[in-house]
């Protein structure tokens, strides 16, 4: 049974605080192993990547077969059913349309001193996307990572997707083609992250790496950060549903299980102001679990990390949700728009009874790569901004430098940075000489 709490009961705050600090990931200490893998790839390049792929993925490669050929991708795309292709194309179109609206604008203006200021946006030159591999890989993740990069204008876009034993999901390759990916490498793990970050003879380095992975991939992303940019270190999936008495208990149960089935460490939380709803949803989850295909995963997730919390009212529910800062938040209430302004921390918000989180995973449009483990308090989901850089622009006229330069010189001298001050003073002296002539 999940943890059941009520804000009206003594000891709630202690129990809720324990829920917030619950460790859900029993990740092995892999940092030393990852450090060795990265060092090996940096030293031996393709040879190290090929040896590690043979050892860990049971796949023999050569420098010439590290990447899928165009013919192989054509064959995989042809194997996709028309129905699956249509669904993937719909998802790609909606994700692209949503992310196109995120593109920021350049700006230039002249301030009161006469200085011209502004900024411009430009994409990173190359990005590498990590996609967990095998037949269980997710084509939706390819779209969610690759399309924002292409919308941002990234010139070179590559994917690293392990194919253990040679197994590949044709939908992943079709998604890569639909998203405009240039190259798909059939490698994974820390060795793939190292190759993308530092490059090998056959794999050119990238500027940014995004995408989820196992503990080895996460540790590798941490280690290469600084050499390249990364999106985030993703933890187990999570959902919080705020529901009132107007919700359908079975729908809520399915929404909770939609995240619980991802991983035994995933977390599903119901927060409701209706005690009867809490009981009905709990019963509905139990009933659905009996027939769920992934019950061996969803069951332990719900049992070990699930929670049902009864509050006095919906504002209190919103306040608790803000403390959780969930990856996914559903507002399954009669008036979600009224509750929305009270939400300050959430990766993605789904409004109303007809907006299940699962729509967001595939065809909603917003990105499904979202902050986990309460990091929505300070970070956002993947967007075109992750593949853009803002460069500031400044242009001084002689009059503008005359107006503000003396203050720059004074501040430079206060910091004992003589050359800073002199670089301004030299120009001011030139202006003074001209005025005195």
- Which positions are catalytic? 327-328
Strand pairing report for 3-6 and 156-160: unpaired
Task: Please list the residues that pair with 109 across neighbouring strands.
Answer: 117
> Per DSSP, what are the bridge partners of residue 309?
5, 271
Angle at CA 79, nearest 5°, toward 78 and 81?
Answer: 100
Q: Which of 63, 60, 61, 50 is nearest to 191 (CA)?
A: 50
Going from the C-alpha of 40 to that of each of 59, 201, 282, 312, 313, the distances in angstroms are 19, 14, 50, 57, 57
**347, 327 Cβ separation under 8 angstroms:** yes
* Cβ neighbours for 56, distance < 8 A, ≥ 6 positions apart: 188, 189
Helix (H) or strand (E) holding 398: helix 398-414
- Measured CA to CA in angstroms, residue 111 lies from 49, 301, 411 at distances of 54, 57, 21
Cα distances (angstroms) measured from residue 209 to each of 74, 188, 213, 324 = 26, 13, 12, 27
How far is 65 from 49, CA to CA, in rounded Å?
12
CA dist., res. 373 & res. 98, Å (int): 26
Nearest to 38 by CA among 226, 315, 242, 302: 226
Q: Rounded to an integer, what distance in angstroms lies between the CA atom of residue 168 and that of residue 163?
A: 6
The Cβ of residue 52 has, within 10 Å, a number of other Cβ atoms equal to 21
Angle between helices 139-152 and 82-100 (to 10 degrees): 40
């Amino acid at each position: 049974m999940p943890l059941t709490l009520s804000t009206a009961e003594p000891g709630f705050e202690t129990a809720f605080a324990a829920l917030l600090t619950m460790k859900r990931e029993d990740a092995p200490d892999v940092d030393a192993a990852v450090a060795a893998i990265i060092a090996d790839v940096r030293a031996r390049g393709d040879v190290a990547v090929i040896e590690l792929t043979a050892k860990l993925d049971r796949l023999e490669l050569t420098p010439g077969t590290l990447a899928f050929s165009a013919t192989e991708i054509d064959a995989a795309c042809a194997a996709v059913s028309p129905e699956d292709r249509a669904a993937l194309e719909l998802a790609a179109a909606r994700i692209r349309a949503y992310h196109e609206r995120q593109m920021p604008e350049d700006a230039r203006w002249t301030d009161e001193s006469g200085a011209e200021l502004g900024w411009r946006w430009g994409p990173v030159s190359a990005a590498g996307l990590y996609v967990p591999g095998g037949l269980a890989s997710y084509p939706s993740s390819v779209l969610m990572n690759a399309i924002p990069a292409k919308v941002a204008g990234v010139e070179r876009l590559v994917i690293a997707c392990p194919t253990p034993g040679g197994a590949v999901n044709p939908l992943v390759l079709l998604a890569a083609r639909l998203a405009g990916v240039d190259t798909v490498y059939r490698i994974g793990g820390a060795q793939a992250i190292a190759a993308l970050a530092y490059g090998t003879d056959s794999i050119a380095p990238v500027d940014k790496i995004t995408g989820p992975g196992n503990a080895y991939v996460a540790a590798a992303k941490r280690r290469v950060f600084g050499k390249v940019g990364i999106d985030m270190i993703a933890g187990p999936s999570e959902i919080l549903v705020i529901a009132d008495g107007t919700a359908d208990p079975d729908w809520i149960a399915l929404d909770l299980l939609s995240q619980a089935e991802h991983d035994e460490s995933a977390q599903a939380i119901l927060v409701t102001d209706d005690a009867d709803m809490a009981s009905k949803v709990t019963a509905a989850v139990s009933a659905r679990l009996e027939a769920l295909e992934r019950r061996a995963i969803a069951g332990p997730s719900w049992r070990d990390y699930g929670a049902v919390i009864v509050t006095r009212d919906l504002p209190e529910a919103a306040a608790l949700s803000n403390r959780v800062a969930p990856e996914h938040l559903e507002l399954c209430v009669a008036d979600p728009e009224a509750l929305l302004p009270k939400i300050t921390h959430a990766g993605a918000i789904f409004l109303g009874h007809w907006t299940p989180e699962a729509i967001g995973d595939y065809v909603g449009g917003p990105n499904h790569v979202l902050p986990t483990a309460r990091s929505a308090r300070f970070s956002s989901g993947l967007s075109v901004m992750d593949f853009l850089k803002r460069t500031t622009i400044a242009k001084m006229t002689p009059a503008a430098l005359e107006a503000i330069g003396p203050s720059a010189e004074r501040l430079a001298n206060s910091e004992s940075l003589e050359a800073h001050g002199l670089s301004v003073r030299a120009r001011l002296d030139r202006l003074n000489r001209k005025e005195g002539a």
